[in-house]
Amino acid sequence: MNKNNKTLLLFALNNRTFILVVAVCIIAISFSSRFLVPSNLINILRQVAANTILGMGFTFVLASGNIDLSVGSMIGMLGVITGLTSKIPGMPFGVALLFGAVIGILSGLFNAVFSAFFGLPAFVVTLATAQIYKGTCYLLSRNAPITSLPEQFKFIGSGDIIGIPVPVWILCVVVIISATLMYKTKFGRHVIARGGNSEAARVCGINVKRISLLVYSIAGFCSFISSTILTGRAFSAQPTAGSGMEMDTIAAVVIGGTALKGGTGNVVGTIFGCLMIGIINNMLNLAAVDSNWQFIAKGFLIIFAILIDVQTERVYSKISLSKKTA
């Protein structure tokens, strides 16, 4: 492979998510003329916001070499807890939100404790805690949506500020904070180091257990924000609100350039990854594709995401090897 081809290939790999988003947009336009209608584009942004916020937290978890399969169940539980708390007579709405945020952070910490301090595989731990959160959610809600919520929820999930959905404004704040943490702080460098080689990071003086606690806390807090937006959109706390969101998030974050095994974290790529999945969902809905087929499409998308991750790693390894031998 000559130098020009290597440069082109590296450019394509480094910008693969943006290229995929453009390709999916072109396909969506060919599927339906309604795709480019302004109201539909705003609807996509509104729908993608909650997933992308969740993706921000998941990016930190995955970049640190961990994984979290409980975030979907956590969203349902946090929505129910916050909804029930807000209905307590005399309860200020801000206090109800603060309580939900604290429970979200503690839920993230609960995930981290077993893997960080007891050495249990994060995959198994979060698979188990997902069942705990799901059971808690259904017990508290009694298998029914929590309705008659304060009007503030509706503003958070469905309101607009100067024509831009409130969830998008919240997303912008979360993205700015996430990007700053990942790219501009010592914490971000330690997250990447822990994901690249946990033992080497520990030898270098990085408290790898503390990093795990912090990234899972971030994921728990982001799950709370997502749950609040979803509750506001439906104007009810649905026990099934986060069902399956962890799968979409894994696909989006990996497609966005964060390695499945850790060691890299791409906040901007996660945005494009979530946007791509949101556009695909919207395209399938506009085309009136049966929801069962949509599940199949998402399954193939996850396989595609993992394939891209593996192949990208191989290509980078080959290029690095060729540079060393040159």
The pLDDT profile of the chain, 326 residues, written as one tens digit per residue, is 556 666 666 666 667 788 888 888 888 888 788 888 888 889 899 889 999 999 999 999 999 999 999 999 999 999 999 999 999 998 999 999 999 999 999 999 999 998 888 888 899 999 999 999 999 999 999 989 998 899 999 999 989 998 889 999 999 999 999 999 999 999 999 999 999 888 889 888 899 999 999 999 999 999 999 999 999 999 999 998 888 888 888 888 988 888 888 888 889 999 998 998 888 888 888 877 787 887 787 788 778 777 776 777 677 667 655 655 55
- In order of start, what are the domains of the chain with their CATH numbers? 40-319 (1.10.3470)
Which amino acid, residue 211?
I
* C-beta atoms surrounding 33 within 10 Å: 9
Whole-angstrom distance, CA of residue 70 vs CA of residue 57: 12
Distances from the Cα of 78 to the Cα of 8, 60, 125, 302, angstroms? 45, 20, 19, 26
**Tokens coding 109:** 């910490």
In single-letter form, the type of residue at position 162 comes to I
Q: Global pTM?
A: 0.90
Task: Return d(Cα 130, Cα 71) in angstroms, integer.
Answer: 7
By residue count, the chain amounts to 326
